[in-house]
């Protein structure tokens, strides 16, 4: 992937997956559909709730969290008041749950948020929270199945909350053969170049400590 692809500023590396109503990296489609077929045989209807996401979308999420237009949470999931936090603390609070624009693994098209369509009703309001994937939650079976089988298809969980700076995300899976290369290519300079011209709130704060954010939230993930 080139710098624009790594940071979600182009779509040359991704394709529309008609069967899944989503966009993903061109080399991820076949392995994902194999995983999906195997899961279907076990009664699990795996769907991609979120696949490729571009830079502008991530920037919008970032700016809404920074300005307080979108809720901000602490490590325990309690609501924080953005206005009461100094810029540095606000940046840290956002990064606990959301990636920097340019640094989301969803930009690569290799990473997908997965759900099971079977146990939920038509009007179900998806939250993507840990309790939905824990014992008693609607996606308990999906989580157990993926734990056992996802690696056979090349997928792993980069955010287990063991090594990862990001909170545990049991729904977030990554296609290792492509994502591992992307991670090596997304160095600090590539990220800085993507952020420099962006209309991003808190940008000075972010750029001043970009080495630290890059090390903690990009490089530090749980391995395949
Ligand atoms: Zn995700």
Please state, for a pLDDT cut of 90, what percent of the chain lies above it: 82
The domain locations on the chain are 3-219
Q: Which CATH architecture has domain 3-219?
A: 2-Layer Sandwich (3.30)
Structure-token pair, residue 17: 């997956």
| pLDDT category of residue 76 using cuts at 50, 70 and 90 | confident
pTM equals 0.94
Query: What pLDDT shows up at residue 11?
Result: 97
pLDDT digit string, tens, across residues 106-134: 999 999 999 999 999 989 999 998 999 99
Structure-token pair, residue 134: 């824990």
pLDDT of 74 above 90: no
Instruction: Quote the ligand 1 centre to 108 CA distance (angstroms).
Output: 11
Q: What DSSP assignment string belongs to 6-52? A: HTTS--TTEEEEGGGTEEEETTTHHHHHHHHHHHHHTT--EEEEE--
pLDDT of 31 above 80: yes
Query: What pLDDT shows up at residue 77?
Result: 78
Query: What pLDDT shows up at residue 49?
Result: 95
Average pLDDT, stretch 62-70?
94
Instruction: Quote the ligand 1 centre to 97 CA distance (angstroms).
Output: 10
Instruction: Quote the ligand 1 centre to 104 CA distance (angstroms).
Output: 8
Residues in the chain: 224
Sign of the C-alpha dihedral, residues 69, 76, 103, 195?
positive
pLDDT of 97 above 90: no
Instruction: Quote the ligand 1 centre to 85 CA distance (angstroms).
Output: 26
Instruction: Quote the ligand 1 centre to 48 CA distance (angstroms).
Output: 10
Average pLDDT, stretch 205-221?
94
Query: What pLDDT shows up at residue 56?
Result: 98
The average confidence (pLDDT) of the chain is 94
Average pLDDT, stretch 209-224?
94
Residue 187 burial by Cβ neighbours in a 10 Å radius (0-12, 13-18, 19+): middle
pLDDT of 164 above 80: no
Query: What pLDDT shows up at residue 154?
Result: 98
Query: What pLDDT shows up at residue 15?
Result: 96
Instruction: Quote the ligand 1 centre to 197 CA distance (angstroms).
Output: 25
pLDDT digit string, tens, across residues 13-28: 999 988 778 899 999 9
Q: Strand 46-50 vs strand 72-73: parallel, antiparallel, or unpaired?
A: unpaired
**Whole-angstrom Cα distance, residue 39 to residue 50?**
18
H or E stretch at 73 = strand 72-73
Instruction: Quote the ligand 1 centre to 165 CA distance (angstroms).
Output: 14
Instruction: Quote the ligand 1 centre to 58 CA distance (angstroms).
Output: 12
Q: Strand 14-17 vs strand 22-25: parallel, antiparallel, or unpaired?
A: antiparallel
């Amino acid at each position: 992937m080139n710098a624009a692809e790594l940071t979600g500023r182009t779509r040359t590396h991704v394709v529309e997956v008609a069967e899944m109503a989503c966009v993903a990296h061109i080399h991820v489609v076949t392995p994902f559909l194999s995983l999906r077929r195997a899961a279907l045989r076990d009664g699990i209807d795996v769907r991609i709730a979120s696949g490729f996401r571009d830079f502008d979308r991530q920037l919008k999420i970032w700016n809404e969290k920074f300005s307080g237009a979108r809720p901000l949470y602490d490590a325990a999931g309690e609501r924080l008041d953005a206005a009461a936090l100094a810029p540095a603390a606000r940046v840290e609070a956002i990064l606990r749950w959301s990636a920097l624009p340019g640094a989301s693994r969803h930009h690569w098209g290799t990473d997908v948020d997965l759900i099971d369509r079977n146990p939920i009703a038509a009007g179900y309001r998806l939250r993507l929270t840990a309790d939905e994937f824990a014992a008693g939650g609607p996606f308990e079976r999906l989580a157990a199945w993926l734990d056992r089988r996802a690696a056979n298809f090349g997928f792993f969980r980069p955010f287990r909350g063991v090594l990862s700076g990001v909170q545990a995300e049991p729904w977030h899976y990554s296609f290792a053969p492509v994502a591992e290369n992307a991670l090596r290519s997304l160095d600090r300079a590539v990220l800085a170049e993507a952020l420099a011209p962006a209309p991003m709130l808190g940008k000075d704060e972010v750029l001043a400590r970009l080495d630290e954010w890059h090390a903690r939230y990009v490089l530090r993930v749980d391995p395949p």
